[in-house]
Chain A
């Protein structure tokens, strides 16, 4: 029975059920992004003290919903689509247990809706972290638990699909690098969900009265074993997508499979216990434990990201140079397709993730430096650089690729798609930089009123802090505009985009994909191994990607300078021991 179709443009094979699951998950993710984006406006227009839009209760409610929809629901729905793509499509195999995959998807939807309703009802404004003993509605926790169980089923469907592909010998040799990266994301996800169950199930039982007490310090340690490593799923997933995008756009391949794969392995081996980063100024945890568990004595997970930071643009540079773009250091980059949102989205996310997200993350994760940063608005600035630009913009760029390939539609308003990564990156970068600045001045995160109206005592932040928060909000609004452009293009393409071949239409296509005549492949050809690179045959004589090396050194210089500036700043505060 024929169940595959081949995309005439990309050559990707789509299994019928995998294809529908990818579409459903991507669309569900986009809906959550829409919710998160609307709520983001409320957050920014309130933190911009001059506007100060929402009342306190609504502000905390909106902030809770924004965090959960953006950081959990949007990214994980989209990652499910990526897992199915990286297994079924890339390995040219049928999907394992599609009914289980649909059951998982249904659980995720139920969990997402349940949690959002709990927040909407107003008695669960506990922030994404829901630190016990502050208590939310039982449905708040239950929604998260159901969502996580659904995602766990998706992970096992992914693993099952890898097993089927291997048994059916649908590919030669080892799995491709992109699939390997997705596998690391899946393994991290399983660990993450296990940690989530360990903390959220007892917390849920506590909220309905079966457990009397949840220790506040223990909650923070275990919650962050989920909270931190869930962001590591994002990193492994979006780095895999970066490799996919340079492969599709530039026919590029990693300079060395060994180096890139080892870097992915380091993510698994050296990030899992990283809740340490979040409890650096907590009582009851020794300095030795903190120092060791944030670095494992050598920061190998940071090393892994620094490696990908070289190998991904490096692979692109090698490929571009082979096409004759060899002039000077940067012709390969200057003549890249800057008007293609798949490229610009990918490249901006790489740069902002590395230069801003990566550097600030390591700095604030340093035990002593955390004293001057913990819980200031510096922290959300950091994770907006990693998740809102790193992961989210990468997924946006991938969407522009998937609209023609997976949905078989032409882009709606291509000019808007072209500018979208520019508007989104510019707005978010502006917001992030000024939030970093305000955080350095001590402005706290998750705070309704920096004027402290009505407090018995009084305090005034410096005027600069107000200015910075205002500029940050304007940048953030620009970022939301960029997000809206993404959704207009995406939804518009699905509804009004020109159909690229026989299609049964959007709504039908969730359950019953394209017209059955499109599925005319019984068994795709076996996926061949990549051709050998000259480098692999002879080893490398010199620097194949000098431009990338210059960029990498620039990153290192910024990193070193900024790191020691923060030590210097720390040295100026009151002595503590």
Chain B
């Protein structure tokens, strides 16, 4: 019953603490510190970190950049969506809109690209499968990150942020070719 009675001391702060609790708090605190340190550690030694680079933008402005890239590096079409093969190391753009990822990208394995992502309308989720890289795409913001595809094959961008009735239609593709 005493968990719902007032403590037995007026100044409960001064009651001694059992050894068992002190040991557990110590162990748990050390573990919590390790978990914190893992994050900066991974920023220095790990290979999967998001950049801090992002810009405020507008749908119209971002669309222009996407269209420029498509006009310059288009190599084909699939289901009416252009396939774009930008040079290794360059800036590549992909936009999310209701309900499509645009355009389709063709990248080279082992090369790095500066990938720019933004949304034309609502929030979208860039979920690259089956690698399982998931990013939030927010309208009005352009996210920039350097990706280095290290496996070749066909990859799909699933939208994993709910964006209305056609959410399940929203797929994109990234092809990674052996060089």
Q: Which A positions have Cβ atoms within 8 angstroms of B? A: 56-57, 60, 90, 127, 131, 133-134, 171-179, 215-217, 220, 243-244, 246-248, 251-259, 261, 279, 281-287, 291, 295, 297-300, 302-303, 306-307, 310-311, 314-315, 362, 366-368, 370-376, 440-442, 444-450, 452-459, 461-462, 527-533, 535-536, 539-545, 549, 552, 556, 559-560, 563, 567, 570-571, 573-577
Contacts and interface: CB of A to CB of B under 8 A. Distances in A.
B129 interface: yes
B3 A444 contact: no
Contacts of B43: 287, 291, 368
B38 interface: yes
B35 interface: yes
B31 A376 contact: no
A177 B168 contact: no
A442 B142 contact: no
A257 to B, nearest CB: 4
Nearest to A284: B54
A134 B130 CA distance: 28
A283 B161 CA distance: 15
27 contacts: A60-B165, A134-B122, A173-B7, A174-B7, A174-B10, A220-B138, A257-B15, A281-B50, A281-B136, A282-B138, A295-B36, A302-B28, A306-B24, A366-B39, A371-B135, A374-B125, A374-B135, A442-B132, A444-B158, A450-B168, A456-B79, A457-B172, A529-B5, A536-B15, A556-B27, A574-B128, A576-B47
B7 to A, nearest CB: 4
Nearest to B170: A455
Q: Helix, strand, loop or mixed for chain A's interface? A: loop
Nearest to A375: B160
Contact of A447 (B25, B50, B136, B167): B167
Nearest to A446: B162
A148 to B, nearest CB: 23
B6 A444 contact: no
Contacts, number: 346
A548 to B, nearest CB: 8
B48 interface: yes
Nearest to A178: B4
Contacts of B4: 90, 176-179, 243-244, 247-248
The 7 lowest CB-CB distance pairs between A and B, nearest first, are A253-B2, A247-B3, A444-B160, A283-B143, A540-B18, A299-B32, A530-B2
A179 B162 CA distance: 40
Given A444-B160, A455-B171, 9 more contacts: A176-B3, A216-B138, A291-B39, A310-B24, A376-B132, A440-B132, A452-B168, A530-B2, A576-B51
Contact of A256 (B21, B49, B121, B136): B21
A371 B145 CA distance: 13
Given A284-B54, A368-B42, A573-B133, A444 B125 contact: yes
B39 A367 contact: yes
Nearest to A564: B38
Given A252-B2, A456-B100, A258 B12 contact: yes
B3 A243 contact: yes
A216 B139 contact: yes
- Please indicate which of the listed interface residues B7, B52, B150 has the most CB atoms of chain A within 10 Å of its own CB: B7
B12 A303 contact: no
Contact of A298 (B33, B46, B50): B33
Given A174-B6, A243-B3, A445-B160, A575 B147 contact: yes
A259 B81 contact: no
A576 B126 CA distance: 14
B5 A528 contact: yes
B40 to A, nearest CB: 7
Chain B, interface size category, equals 35 or more
Contacts of B35: 295, 299, 302, 362, 366, 563
Contacts of A552: 24
Contacts of B164: 60, 134
Contact of A281 (B24, B81, B134, B150): B134
Interface string B110-140: 0000000100011101011111111111111
A441 B127 CA distance: 11
A97 B147 CA distance: 60
A210 B165 CA distance: 27
Contacts of A527: 5-6
Contacts of B5: 176, 253, 527-530
B127 A444 contact: yes
B149 interface: yes
A573 B136 contact: no
Contacts of B138: 216-217, 220, 282-284
B163 interface: yes
Contacts of A374: 125, 134-136, 160
B8 A307 contact: no
Contacts of B139: 133, 216
B173 A457 contact: yes
B142 A283 contact: yes
Nearest to B22: A259
B140 to A, nearest CB: 6
A528 B2 CA distance: 10
Given A178-B4, A455-B170, A574 B148 contact: yes
B35 to A, nearest CB: 6
Contacts of A56: 165, 167-168
Contact of A131 (B25, B78, B122, B168): B122
A307 B28 contact: yes
Contact of B163 (A134, A171, A173, A376): A134
B127 A540 contact: no
B31 A256 contact: no
Contacts of B2: 247, 251-253, 530-531
A88 B16 CA distance: 30
B169 A455 contact: yes
Contacts of B18: 255-256, 535, 539-540, 544
